[in-house]
Amino acid sequence: MFNFLEMFEKSLGLKEPWKVTKAQFIEENRSVHVYVEADKNAEYPCPECNKMCKRYDYEDKERTWRHADVMLYPCFVHCMMPTVKCEEHGINVTDAPWESINPLP
């Protein structure tokens, strides 16, 4: 069977510890919404020096990115981004693996 979630993981270039947990079509505004989860026990790179650091927390607000259209419908990626605590650079939000997609303001 065609795996819809896997299709998004591939199109976003996701690997462990990132995964797509949900993808849904909202009929009201005819858009596709993809939800990405970052494993809470994983390590993520510090955005300043790329050193792998333990996850510290999550941002308190979900971020949204505008993905390319899917089956002609606008598609949005949602994720609670993990923060890391680097010995040198303190607490920062790690970079999303799909950073080439523009985040919405």
Contact residues toward Zn ion (CB under 5 A) are 46, 48-49, 86, 88-89
Closer to Zn ion by Cβ: residue 23 or 86: 86
- From the CB of 82, what's the least distance to Zn ion, in Å? 14
* Contacts by 75-80, CB closer than 8 A, 24 or more apart: 75/31, 75/32, 75/33, 75/34, 76/31, 76/32, 76/33, 76/34, 76/104, 77/12, 77/34, 77/36, 77/101, 78/33, 78/34, 78/35, 78/36, 79/35, 79/36, 79/37, 79/38, 80/37, 80/38
- From the CB of 9, what's the least distance to Zn ion, in Å? 27
Closer to Zn ion by Cβ: residue 16 or 88: 88
- From the CB of 16, what's the least distance to Zn ion, in Å? 22
Closer to Zn ion by Cβ: residue 28 or 87: 87
